[in-house]
Chains A and B, each alone.
Chain A
Amino acid sequence: MTRAWLGGAAAVALLVCLPVVSLLAIAAQGSAGLWSHLAANVLPAALRDTLILLAGVGVLVAVVGTGTAWLVTAHDFAGRRLFEWALLLPLAVPTYISAYAWLDILHPVGAVQGWVRAVLGYSSPREFRLPDVRSMTGCVLLLGLVLYPYVYLTARAMFVTQAAGLIEAARTLGERRVFRRVALPLARPAVAVGVSLALMEALNDIGASEFLGVRTMTVSVYSTWIGRADLPGAAQISLAMLALVVALVMLERWARRNQRYAVGQRPRPIGRSALRGWRAGLAMLACAVPVLLGFAAPATYLMVEAWKRVAFAGISPTLWTEALNTVLLASAATVMVLICGTVAAYAARLHGRGGLLARATTLGYAVPGTVLAIGLLPLVAALDRGLIAAGLPAVLLLGGSGAVLLAYMVRFMAIATGGVESGFARIPPSLDHASRSLGQGPSGTFLRVHLPLSRPALVALALLVFVDCAKELPATLLLRPLNVETLATHLYGEAARGTYEEAAIAALVIVAIGMAPVILLARQPRPRYPGTP
C-alpha cells in the first residue's frame, strides 16, 4: 500500500519535471541559423533589459517591503493597525493589471496629467507632460509597487516571531540603533527569500513589461513563438531564463539555509515605540504611498471604468463566457493540484523516499509561465497526434484546454505539496502509529486521520491555488485553444490592441478574486486542531 502512494507521488513528480526535460530536448535540436540570429539580435538586449529590471525591482521591493514591515511591527502611529493588513493589498493586483490601469491613469490626455497641467498653468500636452510611464523606470516602479508585499510578509514574520527578545536585549545593552544593528541583520535571510520570490514573479510577468515597452526575455520568448513560430528559438531563450530562475532559487535556498535554527521561539510582540508629530506623519506617508499606488489607485480606476462601461453597455455575453471559462479552468486545475499535492505529501510522510519525490513536485513553482508553455507545447502536440492516430478526438489537449490545465498543475503544484506537508506536520506521528496499531493500513489512516485533520488547511490551499490559476496569464496565453478566452487573456488582448472596452470589468473581477488570499493572509489563521497539545 505504501508502494502505491510512492508510485502516485512518482507520477506527479514526473509530470512536473517533464516540461523542463522537453525544453532541453527542443532547445538541443534548434537550427543553427536562427539561433545565431537570436544570439546576435534578440538575446543580448533582452538579457540586459531583464537584468536591469530585476535589479531595479529587487532594490525597490527590498527597501519598501523591509521598511514598511519594520514601521508597522516596531512602532506605533495612527493607522498602524490598518496599514498592517492594507500593505498586503497590492498582492491582489497582478502586474499586468497594474500596468493596464496606470497606463490609462497617466495617459497624456488623461485626468491626472490634465490636472497637473492645470495646476502648473499649461494648456496642452505639447507644452508639458510627465515622464512617460512606458519606460524601464516606469516598469520597475510598477512591478515594485505590486511585488513588495512578498518582502513585507517575510520580513514582518521575522520581526514578529524572532525579534522581540533580541531587540529588548540590545536596548538593555544601551543600543539605540536597533534597526541597523539588530533587526536588519536578523531579517536579512527573510528579506532575501522575499526578494527572490518577488523577482520570480517579475521574471514571470508578461503583461506589464510588454505594455510598457520593456522587451524582457519573457516578452522575447512570447514573440519568438507567436511572431516567428520558432519553437527551438523560443526554447533557447527559455533556457537562458531558466538559468536566471536557478540563480533565484539558489538565492532563496541559500537565504533559507539557517531558518531551521530560528524556529521554536514563541512569538512575542516587540514593545512598540510610539511615534509622534512629524515622525508619525512620515511613517504614515511611507506606509500609505505603496498602498495607494500599488492598490488603491488602480483599484479605484478599475471600479470607475467598470462602472462607466456597465452603465453604458451592460455586460456582454462574451465576458460572461470568459468568466465561466476562467472559473472552470481554475476549478479543474485546483482539484487536480490538490489531489496530486496531497498524494505527494502523504507519500513523503509514509516513506523517506517519498520526501524526495515531494521535493521534485515543487520544481515548477519557479519556472515562468512562458517557459513552461514552451516546454509543454511539443509534448502536448505529440499527445494529440497520438490521440488522433488512435482514432480519438484531439480535444483533450491543444484542441481542448488540457494543455492549460497541465501548465497550471506544474506551476502551482508546489503550493499544494508544500501546504499539505506543513498541514500534516501539525499532526503528531503518534497518531499515525496509533491508527496503524489499531488495524488501519496507510490508506485507511489517510482517510480517517489525515484527511479530516487537514481539512481546514486543504480549504485554504484550494483558495490559494484557485486564485493563482484565475490570475495566470503567460502560460494561458500560449497554451489556450484558439477559441477560448479567460478574463486574463481578454484583458491582455484589449490592452495589446490599445482598446479599452470591457477589460476594466475583467480586471476588476480578477482583482476581486485576488483579494481572497490577501484576506486569508491578513487574518493570519493558525489552524488549530481541537485537543492537540
Chain B
Amino acid sequence: MELALDRVSRRFGGVQALSDVSLGAGRGEVVCLVGPSGCGKSTLLRLIAGVDRPDAGTISLLGQDITHVAPEDRHVGFMFQDYALFPHLTARDNILFGLKRHRDAGAMAEEIIRRLGIGHLAARFPHMLSGGEQQRVALARALAPRPHVLLMDEPFSNLDRTLRDGIREETLAILAALEATVVMVTHDPEEALSSGDRVVLMRAGRVVQAGRGEDVYDRPRTAYAAGFFCDFNRFDGTTRGGAVATPFGPVAAGFVDGTAVQVLLRPQSLHPADSGTPATVTTVTLMGEIEQTRLRLACGQEMRMRSSRRHGLRQGDGVFLRADPAGVLVFPADAA
C-alpha cells in the first residue's frame, strides 16, 4: 500500500468528525471519498496532508509512519477546492513554489507545464485565468514536486457544469498517464462512481462501504449506501414465507419471517408494458438524456420511472408497469 490509514479518529469539540477510519490506496490507484457534507471526508484529506492531526490512529506513506510529520515534509500534493493559487505569483512561479529544493526545478516545472499543455498560461497571474485554467495550474502545481500521493478536495466543483465533464476526463487521463496515487473527495455520487478506481462511501465520520464503483452501486450493503447512489422507489413490508409482498408481486427476501423490511426499486428498472401493475401518470419531466415520469399506483403510492426512451406519456394516462427484478433490493426496515 502506498498510503494506509489505520483506525484514525478526530474530534472537534463535541463532534466526532472521524471515528476509526481505516483506508488504503495502492500505487496508481484513484480512491474517491464520497458522502454528504459533514461526513468527515474533507477532514480525512486534511489529516493525510498533515495540516490537521488525528487524535488517534496512524497514517503511513510508503510504509513509513507519517502521523506526526509536518505537512511540508510529507511529499503529499494537495489540490484545493478553491485552487489556492498564490495571487502574487504567476502560474509558472506557482508551479515553481514547491520545487525550491530541487536542483533542476526549472526543468521539472517545464516538464509538467508541457504535460498539462499550459505553456500559454505560464506567465499569467491567477486572476487572469478562467476557472478551468486555474484548475489546470493548480493541478500542475500539486503534481510538479512528484508527490507520493495527490489529494484533491472537490477538484471539479468550482467549474461550470458544461466544462466539468470534459475537464474531469482530461484530468483523470493525465493522472493515469503519470501513474499518480490519488485520494479525491467529492459529494457528487456520479463523479465518485465515474472517477474512482475505488469508491469509499462515508457517513458521520465512518466508512459505510468501500469497493469498486460497480460493487457499491450494484451491491450496496446498506439501504443508506443504496440510497446515496440512486433515487430508489421504496415499499415497506414484512417478510412472510421468505418473501415480501409488493405491488409488483412477491420479492424474495432472506430474512426471518415477520421481519420488517424495505424493498428498493430502481426508477430505471420500471418500464411500461402491455400488462402488469396499473398506474396513472401524474407528471412527465424531461431531464435531458433521460425522462422521468411520476406515477401513482392504485394503492396511492407515488412511483418514479426513469428511462432514456421517450414513452410519449401524458398526465392522466393509464399504464401498466413492470419491474426488472435486477433492480430490486431488500434491506431491513430499520437499517440506516
Q: Which residues of A contact B (CB under 8 A)?
A: 428, 430-441, 444, 448-449, 452-453, 529-533
Contacts and interface: CB of A to CB of B under 8 A. Distances in A.
Contact of A437 (B72, B88, B101, B126): B72
B49 A531 contact: no
Given A434-B86, A439-B100, 19 more contacts: A430-B80, A430-B82, A433-B51, A433-B71, A433-B84, A434-B78, A437-B49, A437-B74, A438-B72, A438-B141, A438-B142, A439-B101, A440-B97, A449-B86, A452-B88, A530-B87, A530-B126, A531-B85, A531-B125
A420 to B, nearest CB: 17
Nearest to B74: A437
B41 to A, nearest CB: 16
Given A434-B78, A436-B51, A437-B74, A531 B98 contact: no
Contacts of A438: 72, 77, 97-98, 141-142, 145
Contact of A433 (B80, B86, B125, B127): B80
B70 interface: yes
Nearest to A529: B87
B126 A433 contact: no
Interface hub of B71, B78, B142 (most chain A Cβ within 10 A):
B71
Contacts of A437: 49-51, 71-72, 74, 76-78, 98, 142, 151
Contacts of B88: 452-453, 529-530
A417 B85 CA distance: 26
Contacts of A440: 72, 97, 100
Nearest to B49: A437
15 contacts: A428-B84, A430-B81, A430-B82, A434-B86, A436-B50, A436-B70, A437-B71, A438-B145, A439-B100, A441-B70, A530-B125, A530-B126, A531-B85, A531-B125, A531-B126
Interface in B93-139: 97-98, 100-101, 125-127
A444 B71 CA distance: 13
Contacts of A435: 86, 97
Given A437-B49, A530-B125, A453 B87 contact: yes
B66 to A, nearest CB: 12
A440 B50 CA distance: 13
Contacts of B127: 530-532
B19 to A, nearest CB: 23
A213 to B, nearest CB: 55
Top-4 shortest CB links A-B: A438-B98, A531-B127, A531-B87, A430-B84
A431 B51 CA distance: 12
A440 B97 CA distance: 9
Contacts of A432: 51
Contacts of B78: 433-434, 437
A529 B87 CA distance: 7
Nearest to A433: B51
Contact of A434 (B46, B74, B80, B125): B80
Contacts of A532: 87, 127
Contacts of A441: 70, 72
Contacts of B85: 434, 531
Contact of B145 (A430, A439, A444): A439
A110 B141 CA distance: 73
Contacts of B73: 439
Contacts of A439: 72-73, 98, 100-101, 145
Contacts of B74: 437
Nearest to B144: A438
A436 B80 contact: no
A529 B74 CA distance: 30
A99 to B, nearest CB: 46
A434 B151 CA distance: 11
A328 B87 CA distance: 35
A430 B84 CA distance: 6
A168 B147 CA distance: 55
Contacts of B86: 431, 434-435, 449, 453
Interface of B: 46, 49-51, 70-74, 76-78, 80-82, 84-88, 97-98, 100-101, 125-127, 141-142, 145, 151
Given A437-B72, A438-B141, A438-B145, A431 B84 contact: yes
Nearest to B126: A531
A440 B72 CA distance: 5
Contacts of B80: 430, 433-434
A448 B87 CA distance: 12
Contacts of A449: 86
Contacts of A434: 78, 80, 84-86, 141
A214 B145 CA distance: 69
A308 B131 CA distance: 64
B154 to A, nearest CB: 12
A434 B82 CA distance: 11
Contacts of A433: 46, 49, 51, 71, 78, 80, 84
Nearest to B87: A531
Contacts of B126: 530-531
Contacts of B87: 453, 529-532
Nearest to A431: B84
B122 to A, nearest CB: 15
Contacts of A531: 85, 87, 125-127
B126 to A, nearest CB: 4
A533 B100 CA distance: 27
Contacts of B98: 437-439
Nearest to B96: A438
Nearest to B127: A531
Nearest to A448: B97
A408 B151 CA distance: 47
Contacts of B142: 437-438
A448 B94 CA distance: 11
Interface hub of A428, A437, A448, A453 (most chain B Cβ within 10 A):
A437
Contacts of A530: 87-88, 125-127
A531 B89 CA distance: 10
A449 B89 CA distance: 9
Nearest to B71: A436
Contacts of B70: 436, 441
Contacts of A453: 86-88
Contacts of B100: 439-440
Contacts of B125: 530-531
Nearest to A449: B86
A165 to B, nearest CB: 28
Nearest to A532: B87
Nearest to B73: A439
Contacts of A430: 80-82, 84
Nearest to B101: A439
A532 B101 CA distance: 27
B101 to A, nearest CB: 6
B82 A533 contact: yes
Interface hub of B74, B76, B97, B145 (most chain A Cβ within 10 A):
B97
A531 to B, nearest CB: 3
A441 to B, nearest CB: 5
Contacts of B81: 430
Nearest to A432: B51
Nearest to B51: A433
Nearest to A437: B78
B147 to A, nearest CB: 8
A167 B61 CA distance: 58
A436 B97 contact: no
B276 to A, nearest CB: 53
A436 B51 CA distance: 8
A245 B125 CA distance: 48
A433 B74 CA distance: 13
A352 to B, nearest CB: 12
